Amino acid sequence: MLYRLKNAGYQAYLVGGGVRDLLLGREPKDFDVATDALPEDVRRVFRNCRLIGRRFRLAHVHFGPEIIEVATFRGANNDAEVDDHETQNGRVLRDNVYGTIEEDALRRDFTVNALYYSIEDFSVVDYTDGMADLQEGVLRLLGEPEIRYREDPVRMLRAVRFAAKLGFKIDPACEAPLFTQGRLLEGVPAARLFDEVLKLFLAGTGLHAFEKLRHYDLFGCLFHQTDASLTHEENAFPITLVHQGLENTDARVREGKPVTPAFLFAFLLWEPVRELTERLLALGRADSEMDALQQAGAEVTARQVQRVALPKRFSLPMREIWQLQPRFAQRGGKRPLRFLGHPRFRAAYDFMLLRAHAGEVEQELAEWWTQLQELDEQERSRSLRGTGDPRKRRRRRRPQGQPVVTAD
């Protein structure tokens, strides 16, 4: 791809996280390209190209399921260029200001993400001392940290994510505002924060990211209800459940196994749901535990999506995982066999195991359900005979007028 742009007369470089990860000996998740070609020029070079974005036009070049993002070098903003911007209430809606590769480097966030790989001489082009920071394991913002965070508060979450993912230290000047500027995240659209949460917790280093978010008081800016629950935890239940959930998630990601956001949000929000469920039952505002769970799940979810969006394709199965928890206590008759056939059983079972690990559910219950799944159909039927609450045998009523026959 780089050679096709070069042969068409344009400069083209690999840039960003792909270059950073290659230099660190890691496998890049994706590749980005920076060029002096305008988006329309890129589309002329590549038929399999689609232009996206309004604020800043980008070219997405499709190679089967893979997408390479191609961005034109961005220039520095200044007063003389203000007529080239479309603004509304002070927010930039269109920012197609193009410039040189040097200007483009200075517009990036961290120095380690401002490295360019050149196919001209197979070298790394570095305008920001990013190589030195990469070797020292330091995350350093380009520009004044507080200003850069105000420009885009999500950079605070990116700092935490990269520090957790790369094992880097955050430069002290960039770290200090993290303790005080979390409120800026309140102005970030909830849908964008959903994407950032997935990047934080589904990258294989979610537990480390969680610990850093709490250290900088940023976790409460994303999950304020859960953060409030963690401040008055009892017997370490909530912190243990969240830790175990993230630890299991990290292991699955490293093994290449899928993880659904529904399960991630289920254990991140469980503690406020559990607390509200208990209050509803204590106040007599629910007919049953399942009813209380349904009410609590709806209320906690409604509050959460005001801060971090959660599409219904994830929120509905998340709430179903919660509502199925009381069914694990029902071990009598054929109910366990019917429950095993429920389409959401496996996710609910995995969640119950988390609760057992945290001490919230008896370990014997978790072992019983685990063993039940290991049996074949006939063995299950035999093992369930006589389990559950004993049932009284119903006496047959004698028809009225019929004599009672007794044995001699």
Residue 167: both structure tokens together: 């094992």
Question: 30 catalytic, yes or no?
Answer: yes
Please pick, among 21, 32, 133, 250, the residue that the annotation labels catalytic.
32
Measured CA to CA, the distance from residue 375 to residue 372 in angstroms comes to: 6
Residue 262: both structure tokens together: 């529904």
Closest to 334 in 3D by CA, of 376, 387, 370: 387
Report strand pairing: 32-35 vs 66-72. Answer: parallel
Measured CA to CA, the distance from residue 173 to residue 404 in angstroms comes to: 95
Please pick, among 41, 109, 133, 171, the residue that the annotation labels catalytic.
109
Length of the chain: 408
Q: What is the DSSP letter of 74?
A: B
Measured CA to CA, the distance from residue 354 to residue 339 in angstroms comes to: 19
Question: 152 catalytic, yes or no?
Answer: no
Taking the mean position of all CA atoms in its chain, how far away is CA 394? 53
Q: For 121-134, give one letter per residue: b (16+ CB within 10 A) or e.
A: eeebbbbbebeebb
Taking the mean position of all CA atoms in its chain, how far away is CA 320? 19
Residue 7: both structure tokens together: 């042969």
Closest to 34 in 3D by CA, of 7, 19, 15, 17: 15
Measured CA to CA, the distance from residue 18 to residue 329 in angstroms comes to: 49
Question: 121 catalytic, yes or no?
Answer: no
Q: What is the DSSP letter of 390?
A: -
Measured CA to CA, the distance from residue 319 to residue 76 in angstroms comes to: 47
> Tokens 């997408």 identify what position?
67
Please pick, among 30, 84, 152, 195, the residue that the annotation labels catalytic.
30
Contact 197, 189 (CB under 8 A): no
Report residue 63: phi and psi, to 5°: -125, 90
Contact 212, 157 (CB under 8 A): no
Residue 128: both structure tokens together: 């920001």
Planar angle of CA 303, 304, 309, nearest 5 degrees: 125
Q: Which residues are catalytic?
A: 30, 32, 109
